[in-house]
Structure 1
Amino acid sequence: MDFSNLDLIVFLIYVIGTVGFGVSFYFRKQSTSDYITGSGKIPSWVLGMSIFATYVSSISFLALPGASYQSNWNGFVFSLSIPIAAWIAVRFFMPIYRKINSPSAYAYLEQRFGLWARVYASICYLLTQLARMGAIMYLLALPMEAFFGWSIPWIILFTGLAVICYSMLGGIKAVVWTDAIQGVILIIGALGCLITILNQLPGGWLQAQSVALEQGKFSLGSFGLSLSESTFWVILVYGLFINLQNFGVDQSYIQRYLGAKSDKEASKSIWLGSLLYIPVSLLFFMIGTALFVYFQVYDELLPAELGAFESADKVFPYFIVSTLPSGLTGLMVAAIFAAGMSTISTSVNSSATVILEDHFKKYILKNPNERTSLRILYISSFVMGSISIGVGLAFNGVVSALETWWALASIFSGGILGLFLLGLFRPTLTKISALLGVIAGVLHIGLVSWGYLPVHKNLAIVLGTMAIILVGFLFGLIVKEPRDFQENYR
């Protein structure tokens, strides 16, 4: 299907406007601190919108409606764990990061367990971001190729270069301000789509609600205690650990905490970004449910190849290009790109920061001047963005890109959350105990991810984190660190 001229204009205005606005920050006087944290002067509402926009990737934009169309609202349970994770981040994690004298989240691990922990965590983070950016670019390209006939490699290349351009040149300010705009576009587009669906149903929302209730579409899943199924409790616990990892130890989020003017402003940004995701994710689930009712009423409008539930992720994009009025289609495609671009730009900027702080300053030049630091940030942004384009192209042809991304994310995360929690709640733990804990955690993650333990794969991060904490704690009782080390952390 082809864009109308109006759709194309709307889409191009969005892309050109975003890139142009982001690049404009390059022409303002920039220091390393400006590039990484905005010198701690970014408004909390902008940081909050940036956190929200980063959270809503194009994966969420397409997968959440597909999940509720296909089954029910079981996936929404993930969002219910967010307030708990946000409170823990505000109470324990954020104050630590704002106290240590480093823009890297992993400097804390070096202070606690030595350089190995910092290097290990930072490398795991960089690998995770490459897999994440590649998966998002590829999954973003799939619906564009299917319904517009655009080439997948060209879409990946176009998206990657556009994001690299403004995130590399503009730094964190370009990232967070464009994120804030993209977040607004995303919400407006999704609301417009839901309103359009309900307006076209003869009975409107009441009809959608009635049919959905009859067929159990609002169910949050089984409340049974099985660990091998996607029950309410499995998704809730999984969501808690994933959100703790996001808000507690992810460099992408930590830089936003450091960009706030004070601890209070940083807390506001966390609460805004996290709590805003809950109603927006609910909005996406409502879209999927409304589409389910819509195509029951107008079943002749759904192509046969999309009738099978295995194609549920494609139903929403199909509705966008086949049913929405001209102009709104362009806005929705822009919103899908916005969801992807906001996440990728964040990964590019945070990865460059990790390369400068955790590697360049450690191995090559301890105290580089401003010019050298900025040059390394520019180069690192370009290199990470370029490699991620290659990763996105490598995803082309895999059986399930989403499952491949989940597997890579579980492996590359390497139980970093468990290591942080050990440092946070066990201040006298020895370095060898922490290392043994990480080995145990990575082993458990691998066993679950590859199906050697009879539990749901979502529990990989849960069991891995718990293994790190338990093994590290138990060995900490046996192996004691010298007294001077213990006194430093009392």
Structure 2
Amino acid sequence: MNRLPVIDIVIIVVYFLSMILMGIYLGRKNKSTAQFTTASGKIPGWAIGLSLFGTYLSSNTFIGNPGKAFGGNWNSFVFTLTLPVAAFIAAKFLIPFFRKTGEVSAYEHFEKTFGPWARTYTVVCFLLTQLARTGTIFLGVGLTLNALTGVDIRMIILITGAVVTVYTVMGGMEAVIWTEVVQSIIKTVGAILVLVLVIWGVRGGVSEIYHNSITGDKLSLGSFQPDFTRDTFWVVFLYGVLINLTNFGVDQNYVQRYHTAANVKEASKSLWLCVYMYLPSSLMFFVIGTCLFTYYHQHPDMLLHVKQQVAAIKLGTGATAEAIAAKAAVLTDAEIGDKVLPHFIVHKVPSGIVGLIFAAILSAAMGTISSGFNSSATIYMLDIHKRYINKNITDQQQLRILYIATIVIGLLATAVGVSIIGVNSVLDLWWKLSGIFAGGMLGIFSLSMIARHAGRSTAMIAVITGTLIIIWMTFSQTGSFPPMLRNPLHANMTIVVGALSIFLTGVALQKQHKSPLNLKKSI
């Protein structure tokens, strides 16, 4: 087990305590449901923007992006490049729509358009998406702190889950936003420190890093061939546009944040601030991964050590030294990508800075997780409990249910994090799971915006069709399916095909019934 210097342990403990105390302090205002869910609409736009940036810049970015750059190239950066496209559509159409309805829930309007089943369908998809996302983020934290301290990954995930749940329950949405403002600053400073230290440690500096990047094709954004069976530029671009539209238009994390602003203009400003900050930040993490590639291949002993650590995790307790060595010998750069940055931090970062960088990684995780907990609890209360269990519930009873729901969701998300220990790439896993659940949400959302006069039966048939296609695309790639029945497309195309199948089926059925389409009127 590694031993952190006392100063680093103190920094980490102070960070944990600060987040809890901040939640307690801000929780004094939580006297109503509106305060817990939307901070009564009194948060300034710049703070919401930093909060949205904090939600985007999760540990999946902090660990996953350098891992992808180390093990491959910059193909995944194409996802970031689609943010302005999605932000333009959201600011132009979606934010005004949600502010006009006045509905805190992103899914209440589905019931008005297509019936109760549509609302329930999107709520289930959202909750599953949040469990998948927070689970992968917990795993990223566990991998990092395990490399730093040697503490069991399961124990790390359990402790982190408990801390985040406590300050989210006590502070509500205002605590989520203001802690994310602090966390955004910490994680940005931490990333800059890592970048400087990696470049400083490379023999030959920037010129050597650039030379290796060019000769190794590490800066490639992917093939521009119209091939949708592998990680080409177009696969990631289409995936990015649709996922980011899902985030900005269907994800309760973001829609709920729009209601914390004073007006539409402030909400739109906050979204663009998030985009302007995330673009260079995401680029920085890919640069870090590329720099780490050069550094570790200049130090083969350290590269072997990482592979041995990963091999030990994959083989589990009780594995012999011979088995670990044999497994390490066949591991590729792609398989160890997520573990390289934590390894560098623990072995090459000076004492004192280690604690600060780990606090940054925790910030990247905890902000996203806390907003997910709050929004999931809000959705449970508004779209499940208040809709199906008790419609006449008082405000104080709603507040109590929000507390309980946050705790339950925290426990479930923590359990998911523990259950996925051992995956090769946190980012790949998150992208696959989000594509499965988000495809249905985006499909029915686009249908409700552009073809909102489609009948309820038409929408239901479209959703059933799209869901069956998503299920087939997801599970047919396993070896149990005959080759001729397998999905030939890349896993990231699941959301693209799933969402389009729902939308196009709905439009086709609507045209068959000669119902008018009116984009301007629907928005």
1:339 aligns with 2:364: yes
Give the SS at the match of 2:130. Answer: helix
Once the two structures are overlaid, the 10-residue window that deviates more, 194-203 or 469-478, is: 194-203
Same amino acid, percent of matched pairs: 42
The answer to whether the 8 A contact 1:82-1:240 is kept is yes
Aligned match of 2:74: 73
Q: How do residues 432-451 of structure 1 correspond to structure 2 at under 5 angstroms? A: 432-450=457-475, 451=477
Aligned match of 1:459: 493
C-alpha distance in structure 2 between counterparts of 1:323 and 1:359, whole Å? 49
Aligned match of 1:246: 247
Offset of residue 379 of structure 1: 1.1
Give the SS at the match of 2:259. Answer: helix
Q: How do residues 421-432 of structure 1 correspond to structure 2 at under 5 angstroms? A: 421-432=446-457
Offset of residue 254 of structure 1: 0.4
What residue identity is the alignment partner of 1:440?
T
* Distance of aligned partners of 1:367 and 1:477 in 2 relative to their CA distance in 1, 3 Å threshold: same
1:472 aligns with 2:472: no
Runs (4+) of structure 1 exceeding 6 A deviation are 398-401
C-alpha distance in structure 2 between counterparts of 1:353 and 1:32, whole Å? 9
Once the two structures are overlaid, the 10-residue window that deviates more, 168-177 or 398-407, is: 398-407
Q: Please give the per-residue CA displacement for 1:352-371, whole angstroms capped at 9, x wherever unaligned.
A: 11011111211222242221
Aligned match of 1:95: 96
C-alpha distance in structure 1 between counterparts of 2:420 and 2:302, whole Å? 31
Q: Paired residue for 2:410, among 352, 373, 385?
A: 385
1:236 aligns with 2:237: yes
The answer to whether the 8 A contact 2:80-2:282 is kept is yes
Aligned match of 1:326: 351
The answer to whether the 8 A contact 1:430-1:480 is kept is no
C-alpha distance in structure 2 between counterparts of 1:66 and 1:477, whole Å? 47
Aligned match of 2:225: 224
C-alpha distance in structure 2 between counterparts of 1:408 and 1:205, whole Å? 36
* Distance of aligned partners of 1:406 and 1:71 in 2 relative to their CA distance in 1, 3 Å threshold: closer
What residue identity is the alignment partner of 1:329?
V
Offset of residue 76 of structure 1: 0.6
The answer to whether the 8 A contact 1:124-1:414 is kept is no
Gaps of 5+ in 2: 308-330, 478-485
Offset of residue 415 of structure 1: 1.0
Give the SS at the match of 2:350. Answer: coil
Once the two structures are overlaid, the 10-residue window that deviates more, 375-384 or 412-421, is: 412-421
Aligned match of 2:275: 274
* Distance of aligned partners of 1:289 and 1:401 in 2 relative to their CA distance in 1, 3 Å threshold: closer
What residue identity is the alignment partner of 1:379?
I
The answer to whether the 8 A contact 1:82-1:275 is kept is no
C-alpha distance in structure 2 between counterparts of 1:428 and 1:235, whole Å? 32
The answer to whether the 8 A contact 1:69-1:291 is kept is yes
Q: How do residues 38-49 of structure 1 correspond to structure 2 at under 5 angstroms? A: 38-49=39-50
Once the two structures are overlaid, the 10-residue window that deviates more, 145-154 or 67-76, is: 145-154
Aligned match of 2:63: 62
* Distance of aligned partners of 1:405 and 1:214 in 2 relative to their CA distance in 1, 3 Å threshold: closer
C-alpha distance in structure 1 between counterparts of 2:5 and 2:79, whole Å? 37
Q: What is the TM-score of this pair, normalised by structure 2?
A: 0.89
The answer to whether the 8 A contact 2:56-2:368 is kept is yes
Gaps of 5+ in 1: none
Give the SS at the match of 1:74. Answer: coil
| Alignment length (residue pairs) | 485
What residue identity is the alignment partner of 2:123?
S
Q: Please give the per-residue CA displacement for 1:88-107, whole angstroms capped at 9, x wherever unaligned.
A: 11111111111113210001
C-alpha distance in structure 1 between counterparts of 2:132 and 2:343, whole Å? 27
The answer to whether the 8 A contact 1:410-1:449 is kept is no
Give the SS at the match of 1:457. Answer: coil
Offset of residue 410 of structure 1: 3.3
Q: What is the TM-score of this pair, normalised by structure 1?
A: 0.94
Aligned match of 1:10: 11
